[in-house]
Structure 1
Amino acid sequence: MVCIIDWEYAGWMPDFWDALKATWMCDDDDLWLHFGRRVFREHDEELKADWEWRIRSQVTIL
């Protein structure tokens, strides 16, 4: 078997990475954000901390 690895996107990511990436482009009132929080319940604290960081740092999402 032969495969090609794209090292630009390869790497170890923490468990909550999928939850953060799934909700990164969401607004506070976005239905997708609420859905993501229900799907990734075990990472609710990380999602809340990330949201707090975005609000305080005034990071532009788009």
Structure 2
Amino acid sequence: MYVCLCHAVTDSQIKNAVIQGDSSLADVKKRLGVGDQCGKCVKMACHIIQREINAQPNYYEVA
């Protein structure tokens, strides 16, 4: 699904950016250009970033 129409960025591209180490909108914006034109995609992009971060296991947490 396209999230940012200005730069033709999809949700899969945002997820892959998070997997590669981006952890904030600023990081994803630098890599993909999300949110630097009209800004309508920012809310959805933040939601996708946060959901992907929460889905990744945190190996540094001690049980």
TM-score (norm 1): 0.46
User: Hey, which of these two has a bigger chunk of strand by percent?
Assistant: 2
TM-score (norm 2): 0.46
Larger radius of gyration: 1
User: Hey, which of these two has a bigger chunk of helix by percent?
Assistant: 1
